[in-house]
Amino acid sequence: MNEENRAEIFLADIHAGKTPRDMQILASKGLLPYLQEQVLPILIAFLENPDEELKSNARRTLKNYPVPLLRSYIASGIGSGELDALADVLTDPELLESLALAKSAGEATLIRLSRRAHERLQEILVTNQERILACPGILEALESNPALTPNVRRRILEIREEFFGEKKPFTPSITPEEASDMGITPQEYMDLFESFHIENLSADQLFSTIEIPTEGISEEQLTLLQRYFKMTVPEKIQLALKGSQEARGILITDSAKLVREAVVASPKITEPEILHIASNRAMDEEILRHIGTSRQWARKYAVIKHLAFNPKTPVGVTLGLLARLMKKDLKELGGEKNVPDPVRQASHRLYLVRVQTG
């Protein structure tokens, strides 16, 4: 009897319950005297075993298995059941892609992969229209993926509209209690939301990204960031207008200009938040311009001062604010090397005028 036949008989004995437990434990650890590729079917069989020790051993063994061997085994034409079992265990991006591309990959496997697919695998799954039409659940699984990219979200939207006739325009909502908390009426909120003209957004503009810090962030905050990351621009605008201070602090880093504008336009935003934004040298000029020309905030001396000393504030906005600065702040600004030359020079001239006129 050759070695291959012995491995097949051993696997059959496992299924039939004829194999001693000590031998099963050795097998689940990959310690049988067979070739590695012959051990793979045995390990996969243990993944469905009710014995937790055997299952855990097999999972650990498979995770450490050589990638080329696993890739070759997946490409050999194994059944959908084995593919699905492997999809629950493997983490290597290359192997996950091999599972998704396997001809025998079933609905369960593709859905399982979609829920945790990395960027390239998301693209592979969303561009396979034939499989999506046969298994629309792939779209829902992708949408539940916390790492879903804006590009894939856009493709999902296009597929839903093109092949399933689904088109879900965003409708803003506000309760009387929420409006009262914002200090406005429900109609004023609707008017404010409509001022962002989301109906003019193209499919490409419906999705944006949020800057997610790589360190110094708790798991709870990361979950929150991932939830916001999955929102469309209209959803983010609504959250920016009526959400919490924490939400605004996250959304001010959004790549969509409309979302950032909604943050500073929120009736709930506080002066300390505005001061933080006005002094942020990484903030884009348009948001600083919006604050500097706002009736509400351009009357606040602390806001004016923060804007004037921020080198990112548009020069025209800053020059228009100088006349409102106190003499001591004009003097300091006139010697500030980080601000644009026109601002520094104008501040110095205005300071000298103030000194001469007493």
Convert the pLDDT of each residue in 134-188 to its tens digit. Answer: 889 999 999 899 888 888 888 888 888 777 776 567 889 899 999 999 999 999 9
b/e burial code for range 52-84 (CB count within 10 A of at least 16 → b): eebbebbbebbeebeeeebbebbeeebebebbb
Q: How far apart are CA 231 and CA 201, in angstroms?
A: 15
3 has pLDDT over 70? no
Domain ranges of the chain: 3-119, 170-269, 270-358
Higher pLDDT, 31 or 221: 31
Residue 160: the pLDDT is: 83
Residue 14: the pLDDT is: 78
Are the beta carbons of 292 and 324 closer than 8 angstroms?
no
Average pLDDT, integer, range 3-32: 79
Of all helices (H) and strands (E), which one includes residue 4? helix 3-16
Residue 23: the pLDDT is: 87
Residue 4: the pLDDT is: 57
Are the beta carbons of 273 and 248 closer than 8 angstroms?
yes
How far CA 72 is from CA of 7, 60, 68, 302, in Å, comes to: 18, 19, 6, 66
Average pLDDT of the chain to the nearest whole number = 88
Residue 336: the pLDDT is: 92
Convert the pLDDT of each residue in 67-90 to its tens digit. Answer: 999 999 999 989 999 999 999 999
What is the pTM (predicted TM-score) of this model? 0.59
Q: How far apart are CA 310 and CA 340, in angstroms?
A: 10
How far CA 208 is from CA of 99, 188, 225, 242, 260, in Å, comes to: 30, 26, 13, 19, 11
Q: Which residues contact 91 (CB under 8 A, 6 or more apart)?
A: 63
Q: Burial, 90: exposed, middle or buried (Cβ in 10 Å; 0-12, 13-18, 19+)?
A: buried
Are the beta carbons of 310 and 290 closer than 8 angstroms?
no
What are the structure tokens assigned to 6, written together? 């012995």
Residue 60: the pLDDT is: 93
Are the beta carbons of 86 and 71 closer than 8 angstroms?
no
Confidence of residue 214 (pLDDT cuts 50, 70, 90): low
7 has pLDDT over 70? no
Average pLDDT, integer, range 51-79: 92
Q: Burial, 203: exposed, middle or buried (Cβ in 10 Å; 0-12, 13-18, 19+)?
A: exposed
Q: How far apart are CA 37 and CA 40, in angstroms?
A: 5
Residue 150: the pLDDT is: 80
